[in-house]
Structure 1
């Protein structure tokens, strides 16, 4: 059956002038066929199957799955320990700011390295380095137990932040080296889906070990999975030589490129508004579990795992969909803002699980679409530097928003913070939609 198409009235000149931006906004809403059309779904699934048929991509995706699982288990244990030691959401926000801030500072160097060096060998090296640090922290936490100093945790956060700053643009840019050019968008979306699967299993491991008061085991999981990921990356043989090293070096400064390329800059701007407060859930979830739901580390880990399930659902749906464009990103952001605000109303675990599942679904879908849009639109000569800029926006916004959100939670409680985040994110989504309407009308 052919998809139903809804056409807007023709003759823009007949529209009343008073309609203004709101009238143009209606033209930019995705048609129903973009969301549910059978042809779009079938085509998307076909491209998905083609991408997965590439053995090099499967090895790369397996490495990213392991990375996601270990990283998320480590991160949840790290966040809960900081909150347990200090009792302050602000301390959790500062932890995120330390890790993310280092990624922002090192982004120019990391992006240049990703463009000019052997990505495969560098990616294997960063994963191996992460395995070493995580394993050392696991042994230290096991030996010291409850006496583990906060300074040791922050030291590990800082070192892993440096490694992650180099690792992140490598992982994103490496997609272009293992798939054909017309599959980059689909592969980038699949990358988000694979990471979501890893986060789901990693949060399950965190739930188990945190419930047993064995946070050291979460760090050990990260060490083991990072080592395996490093070995898998070394088995990848890039099948496309899209750009030579000399051409990458000649790509030029990335800032000027971003300023003149709306197809890359606009998704990054929406991403910034998304991650500033909305996707800073590591600050909010410990307090929601502790204060709203009156639970402990087990409740916190359950919420994190359910959120990972939602993120997986959203990213997989987006990977199989042909949904694209700024309009769709802004609409997903608007729906996400409403789900964040609804989380403020929960008082018991089941309701919290349902709410966080929806939050994760729309958040994961947004991230998948944003990543695919940026990676497919980027100039191949600047792939690493654009990926680094994407990482700066993602982690930089979290670094700025984390302490602010932590202060807001400590001062007014998680419910007020959640409603505030919802209102702020909805306003950003509306501005994005109005900007699309204005951009299209000026062409």
Structure 2
């Protein structure tokens, strides 16, 4: 289950992420609650904050993918994390001094969106450089496990810490935790990285990446389904504070507990993905099934009558969500050529996160117009339909072409997977 931790460079990265991700989730909860408080519990204000944070992805992620193929990914990640430290510390200072206003948080959302648009394609493609192709699936799953372990610990701490000390100290804590990532990256041995060939600056590289994806039916399937599920289905993270406050009338600790219950499911799912990644390659069938289950569980959870029942419904929803995300990520990482990985991951991040500027305000609007539960049952229905339609299309076409490396002569051949 932990085979990729045998690589020293990845161990350093993994250790830094364990600490930093807890801080990130503490800040995420604090940021959402601060927006909700400053706006007078306005769901639309929360949707605007999400849109501002993810709009830069629409503008920058494709270009960031090209940049990731050109530059030293390790050094780029160090610079980005230093900037994130400054941003989190600045908002914490504004909050602690009592001068924070809603526009300050909105500005932070935009700036964090810029760094995220640059960081995510670089970090995703850097995984393969740390561990090599054979360990990518396991490393992706372990990344998800620590991310979701942090999603358990971070919201649990944040929910109670906000009640005790307010949101400001959580921003400061995140700034301090980000230092762990910088230290881990700085301690790596660059000579032990599995680097692809250097990609010189040239015209048309972005278009080349788009054409590469268009020619691959397996990648097109992943991208299309990911867009619909992430834009409409995986918006429940945004609507959780709305449900906690406006449906079940709880405080910050109630929101933190709901986030933790989601994370119990995602953490369990990530560990299962890590175990599965040792034994077999990622499969399109698993991606389609987990996407359908995500929609189904979200739809069922939407109608749970009590706070406890709703919270318990979030556990299988979290499991299906992380299984879907990990499988899609691993499918992309393991099936692209090294010189194209950054550009393809830029496209992947665009469809994964780029729908949030639509989904964020839409979630707030739906909750305001149709009630706090509506983002769950609408998003669940769209995700379920999208997964079923993609499966039917692939069945009609007789499967999907998946590239497999023939190690004897280094050539790629196509293998047909039945859905």
Same fold (TM over 0.5): yes
Give the RMSD, CA atoms, in angstroms. Answer: 2.0
What is the Cα deviation at residue 250 of structure 1? 9.3
Equivalent position of 1:148 in the other structure: 100
Query: SS of the residue aligned with 1:174?
Result: helix
Aligned twin of 1:234: 186
The answer to whether residue 20 in structure 2 is matched with residue 64 in structure 1 is no
Aligned to 1:172: 124
Q: What is the CA–CA distance in structure 2 between the aligned matches of 1:281 and 1:317, rounded to whole Å?
A: 22
Whole-Å separation in 2 of the counterparts to 1:59 and 1:393: 29
Residue deviations 1:289-321, cap 9 Å, x none? 112222111101111111112111111111211
Q: 1:108 to 1:323 in 2, by over 3 A?
A: closer
Q: Within 2, Cα distance between the matches of 1:194 and 1:275? A: 21
Retained in 2: the 8 A contact 1:290–1:296?
yes
Paired residue secondary structure (2:282): coil
Partner of 1:383: 341
Assess, with a 3 A threshold, how the Cα gap between structure 1 residues 191 and 247 changes in structure 2: closer, same or farther. farther
1:421 aligned partner: 379
Task: State the partner residue of 2:289.
Answer: 331
Unaligned residue ranges in structure 2 (runs of 5+): 401-415
Distance, in Å, in 2 between the alignment partners of 1:210 and 1:432 is: 42
Q: Write the deviation string for residues 14-63 of structure 1: whole angstroms up to 9, x where unpaired.
A: xxxxxxxxxxxxxxxxxxxxxxxxxxxxxxxxxx3431211211111222
Instruction: Spell out the pairing of 1:140-289 with structure 2 (5 A cutoff).
Output: 140-144=94-98, 148-238=100-190, 239-246=192-199, 252=205, 253-289=208-244
SS of the aligned residue for 1:320 comes to: helix
Mapped to 1, the partners of 2:201 and 2:140 lie a distance apart of: 20
Return the offset for 1:265. Answer: 2.4
Aligned to 1:96: 50
2:34 paired with 1:76: no
| Partner in structure 2 of residue 28 of structure 1 | none
Q: Distance in 1 between matches of 2:399 and 2:109?
A: 47
Residue 361 of structure 2: which of 400, 403, 418 is its match? 403
Matches within 5 A, 1:124-143: 124-143=78-97
Q: Secondary structure at the match of 1:414?
A: coil
Which residue matches 1:18? none
CA deviations over 1:177-221 (Å, ceiling 9, x no partner): 111222222222222222112222221221122222510122112
Q: Is the 8 A contact 2:298 2:377 kept in 1?
A: yes
Task: Compute the TM-score of the two structures, normalised by the length of structure 2.
Answer: 0.89
Larger gyration radius, structure 1 or structure 2: 1
Whether 2:253 is the aligned partner of 1:298: answer yes
SS of 2:323's partner is: helix
**Unaligned residue ranges in structure 1 (runs of 5+):** 1-47
SS at match of 1:405: helix
CA distance in 2, matches of 1:277, 1:263: 22
Alignment partner of 2:60 out of 100, 103, 106: 106
**Which residue, out of 383, 395, 399, partners 1:437?**
395
- Distance, in Å, in 1 between the alignment partners of 2:202 and 2:179 is 30
Aligned to 2:272: 317
SS at the partner of 1:243? coil
Distance 1:272 1:67 in 2: 27
Aligned to 1:366: 324
Cα distance 1:412–1:59, how it changes in 2: closer, same or farther (>3 A)? same
SS at match of 1:245: coil
CA distance in structure 2 between the partners assigned to 1:211 and 1:440 by the alignment: 55
CA contact 2:2–2:142 (8 Å) conserved in 1: no
What is the TM-score normalised by the length of structure 1?
A: 0.84
Tell me the CA shift for residue 249 of structure 1: 6.5
C-alpha separation between the residues in 1 aligned to 2:126 and 2:56?
22
Checking the alignment, whether the CA contact within 8 Å between 2:197 and 2:338 is kept in structure 1 is: no
User: 3-state DSSP class of the match of 2:373?
Assistant: helix
CA separation of 1:325 and 1:212: change in aligned 2, threshold 3 A: same
3-state SS of paired residue (1:212)? helix
